[in-house]
Amino acid sequence: MTSAPTLTAPQPAAPSAERSAMADLSQETLALTKRLFLQLARRPSTLVAGVLQPLIWLVLFGALFAKAPEGLLPGGMSYGRFLGAGVIVFTAFSAALNAGLPVMFDREFGFLNRLLVAPLRSRSSIVIASVLYITSLSLVQSIAIMGTAALLGYGWPGAYGLVLVLVTLLLLVFAVTGLSLGLAFALPGHIELIAVIFVVNLPLLFASTALAPISFMPTWLGWLAALNPLTFAIEPIRAAYAGHLSLTEVVLEAPYGDLTGAQCLLVLALLAVGLFLLIRPLLDRKLS
């Protein structure tokens, strides 16, 4: 980290004046992200539980319909294979839904005040650090589940398929992280946040195509599932697992019409952008 000699001597009284805003921003963001990873390394229960829960789903639920009549599912897929995509998405979704918890605890314990009294270049570094952390955590957990699913004989999407899976997960994780961070600033305490997470988590799973295709559902639930963001992530991944890697192929036959993989991803992207735009005024107010 040496710099070229300058004409004027550095001013020790104004240490930050000579540094660029980008350098400051990355320094503070990295330090905040590092803190979250140190917490994770020393309290790995979040990581372990985040892998264990979907793993149990995969093993138990996958076995539940092992002897179901052949040809029950569209495309003659085995139930384990069908379920795989749903559980992968559920893993990433659950992890991202918890993104707000560390922020909420920082608010409650006053640690956030410690951050806010510091001359942060931009207070969005607090949000960026959370997004970086939760994105890596949820992707690691999802990949662990994908590996397990492969070992159970539920398939592997291949190299290009893997990219497609990860992009899909990333978009979903961004959207859900935005939602969770928004809740972390809007709700009064962690009890309320945990309650919302608890209430939202499983119903969203059941009202999606994670466990059964829309064709199995009554009309009202089919509509719900076809509007559920999880479905928009599950179907492109399921298609990738089935070897249908073209984004122009129809992956979701919704009551309102057919959607291609590209259209599903677009919905997820719009959702992510929309949610961040929606919570922005709230973050600005709370962090100003």
Contacts to other proteins by CB under 8 A:
1, 15-16, 19, 23-24, 27-28, 30-32, 34-35, 38-39, 42-43, 107-121, 185, 188, 286-287
Judged by beta carbon, residue 44 or residue 257, the one nearer other proteins is: 44
Residue with tokens 């959607």: 259
Helices within 60-189 (DSSP H only):
62-64, 79-97, 100-109, 111-116, 124-151, 158-186
Judged by beta carbon, residue 106 or residue 235, the one nearer other proteins is: 106
Min dist. Cβ of residue 171 to other proteins (A): 29
14 φ/ψ sector (left φ>0, alpha ψ -120 to 50, else beta): beta
CA 288/CA 284 separation, integer angstroms: 6
Judged by beta carbon, residue 71 or residue 110, the one nearer other proteins is: 110
Min dist. Cβ of residue 228 to other proteins (A): 32
CA 139/CA 166 separation, integer angstroms: 8
Judged by beta carbon, residue 29 or residue 209, the one nearer other proteins is: 29
Min dist. Cβ of residue 188 to other proteins (A): 8
DSSP string over 7-55: SSPP-TT-TTTTS-HHHHHHHHHHHHHHHHHHHHHHSTHHHHHHHHHHH
Min dist. Cβ of residue 185 to other proteins (A): 8
Min dist. Cβ of residue 163 to other proteins (A): 33
CA 268/CA 273 separation, integer angstroms: 9
Min dist. Cβ of residue 191 to other proteins (A): 13
Judged by beta carbon, residue 105 or residue 223, the one nearer other proteins is: 105
Judged by beta carbon, residue 72 or residue 120, the one nearer other proteins is: 120
Distance of CA 85 to the CA centre of its chain: 15
